[in-house]
Structure 1
Amino acid sequence: MSRSALKEIVWPGLQDEIMSLRDSVAFLEGRLAASRRLAAEQAGLLERQALELGACKVELAELKARAGRGLAPDARLAQQVETLSGKVPLSWVRSTKAVPFANLGDALSPLIVSVMSGLPVAHYAFNSPNRRLAAVGTIGQGQSAGTVHFWGTGFDPKRNATGDRSRGFTAAPGVDYVVHAVRGPFTRRALLAAGIEAPAIYGDPAWFLPRILKPRVEKKYELGVVLHISELDTPGPETGSVTGQPRFAGAQDYGVHVISTYHEPSWSGLVGKLQEILACRRIVSNSFHGLLLADAYQIPCLYFPNAPTGLKRFDLEGNYDEPLNHRFADFYRGVGRSSMFAYGNPSSAPTPWEEVIAAVDRFWEPLSFTGEALFDAFPLAPRVAFSEKRWPVDDEAAAALPW
């Protein structure tokens, strides 16, 4: 058979087979491409799942670490909140008929607890038999009944629930003390001496106020003097009752503004008082929270005790020097200070304001305290994160707090 004849017979079959093979190759290439896409998608899914698993492991490790340190949200307190239809039972010194004003430091307790928990608060007396929380203020020694959870609270080491100063602080027989954090090591020392367990977690919740309120305020005064309420002749937001004291003679001539920590018992009253403090370029204070807030807002400041005139350096290690008030010693030692500067001046003598201003400028140093351990010790599930620089506050909810 000739080659041409053979070609005519074989070639069409070969062409059909080649086309079939090409179709098979195209089909297999399509399958391979689909398999590769599926493999890539599965690899991406596995990668995402691995990342999520890693994040879960980190979160679990953090929760275990917190639980191991006793820092997990307290189920018993959470149950009490649930019993109260979502209100946090809280003890603090609020306004009364006898003193119809709020004191700035005390009033920060319901605000900060409410913002951190995302819940309203209910006021509970110091002698309430119910489980409750105590936070801002030197109020630990005054609790006389019930189960009290303490978070950043101060205790007066020289007083107990009856006010007896003869023996110093002793545990009240009707109180179950549950301590999550305290203001500082001197409070902790008093608790341990009384047989009450307390972790070495320090700080005052008022430190968190700049995360909640940070209004822009024009600086109007060279120096603000934030008074302790004991320095007022008459309780109230105004300071006219002290202007006649020799200590404050000539204050206005040097741009000095005297500030009472009392304010109207309302949200607007608290904001207004804070703005008054923030309007000062410097602060000196015999009020603990006056000084703490200055430091929290990074306003140059010094302690201003009723003491012999002049610059003083108080030792905070081991014990603390008199006449340094225990509140200052407690907090500032707890945030890592080994000493603190002050400018003393007795109420009976004029203050050399230029020297005071110069001392603030020379000796103030900002604190490196962050408050993270205190935040972690909050005994309820927080609705805010420590990593957030600003914590949202609802004006209506804040106005509804029991000031």
Structure 2
Amino acid sequence: MRPVKLVHWNPRETRTGGSLGRLTATGPRKDNFGDLLGPYVVEKVVRTTRGLTSYPVPRRLPPGRSPRTGHLLTIGSVMHFARTGDTVWGTGVNGKIAPDVYRFTSLDVRAVRGLHTQKFLTERGIDVPDVYGDPALLLPHLDPRVTAWAADKRHTLAVIPNLNEVDDWKDHPAFVDPRGPLDHVIERLARSERVVSSSLHGLVISEALDIPVALVRSRAEPSFKYDDYFSGTGRTDVHTFDDLDTALAARTVPAEMSWDPAPLLEAFPWDLWPARTARTAQATA
């Protein structure tokens, strides 16, 4: 079997403008921490998870369709990168992408980020199970370092912007650069008593660790991905803030979510790693 390809967004910086610049980009990669979490979490699941009780069967494709086997989409608003036959686990739709960019006709969906993504896919004839959640919520269940960091607070505050708002927030003394080393960003958030974020995954990591977090509505992003995430964790009408100063002045408490991590973890596509699936199944027999 070919290695599993984890589809995620991490383009290189362009040195020239226009479409030619995008095609010939040779600069450093964006390295936005939220977009790197997909491969990171999948590695944690594959290396550390034991005792899963079931292994989903891949969904059948329509007759005559050739699957692009071995491609897995996970964390992020990257559904527009999917092609027919790809596997989806916790992925979301990007509210900035035009509908005609989505080119798949059938997907093997195990879970989606939220109900808005589910609706988008089902309206296109894609079968989507009622399994929701951003897989970054699983980090405390997968990496004991993360819970240890969260138990050892060293910072009163962290402020982490959406990638497109770094310049607006970078002068704050509690600024956390979302382009920093992934472990460092997670640790900095985990060790903070409070977080203010316009980054979706600044929000997700904070909520996963029961850290009080205030979400600032991003001026660079539509609300779709935030609303989608909230819907996947059983919430609507979550209070958000218009700007950083208002969020900093507000009193925040840990989120109340009606979300169980077990269905999302059980929906992990182990069958893409058949040798590991067989070993784990034998161990639990």
TM-score by length of 1: 0.53
After TM superposition, list the pairs within 5 Å mapping 1:2-401 onto structure 2: 83-84=1-2, 87-94=3-10, 96=12, 97-118=26-47, 129-143=68-82, 145-157=83-95, 159=97, 165=98, 168=99, 171-172=102-103, 176-211=106-141, 212=143, 213-214=145-146, 215-216=148-149, 218-233=152-167, 242-243=169-170, 251-252=172-173, 257-263=174-180, 269-306=181-218, 325-345=223-243, 351-352=245-246, 356-361=248-253, 364-380=254-270
Is the contact between residue 227 and residue 236 of structure 2 (CA under 8 Å) also seen in structure 1?
no
State the shift of 1:195 in Å.
2.0
- Report the 3-state secondary structure (helix = DSSP H, G, I; strand = E; otherwise coil) of the residue aligned with 1:339: coil
State the shift of 1:131 in Å.
3.6
Is the contact between residue 130 and residue 146 of structure 1 (CA under 8 Å) also seen in structure 2?
no
The code of the aligned residue for 1:221 comes to H
Could you say which structure has the higher strand fraction? 1
The code of the aligned residue for 1:105 comes to G
State the distance in 2 between where 1:272 and 1:338 align: 31
Match of residue 7 from structure 1: none
State the distance in 2 between where 1:94 and 1:297 align: 26
Match of residue 54 from structure 2: none
Task: Determine which structure has greater relative contact order: mean sequence separation of CA pairs < 8 Å that are 6+ residues apart, divided by chain length.
Answer: 2
Distance 1:130 1:225, change over 3 A: same
State the shift of 1:117 in Å.
2.4
Is the contact between residue 223 and residue 357 of structure 1 (CA under 8 Å) also seen in structure 2?
no
Match of residue 18 from structure 2: none
State the shift of 1:101 in Å.
4.6
State the distance in 2 between where 1:157 and 1:227 align: 18
**Which digits, 9 at most, give the CA deviation of each residue in 1:74-94, with x for residues without a partner?**
xxxxxxxxx12xx32221123
- Report the 3-state secondary structure (helix = DSSP H, G, I; strand = E; otherwise coil) of the residue aligned with 2:239: strand
State the distance in 2 between where 1:339 and 1:149 align: 31
State the distance in 1 between where 2:207 and 2:191 align: 14
Is the contact between residue 154 and residue 327 of structure 1 (CA under 8 Å) also seen in structure 2?
yes
- Report the 3-state secondary structure (helix = DSSP H, G, I; strand = E; otherwise coil) of the residue aligned with 1:284: strand
- Moved beyond 4 Å, runs of 4+: 381-384
Q: Report how many aligned residue pairs link the two structures.
A: 238
- The CA RMSD over aligned residues, in Å, is 2.9
**Which digits, 9 at most, give the CA deviation of each residue in 1:121-179, with x for residues without a partner?**
xxxxxxx9554111111001233x452100100012552xxxxx3xx366415x54211
State the distance in 2 between where 1:378 and 1:130 align: 16
State the distance in 1 between where 2:188 and 2:47 align: 27
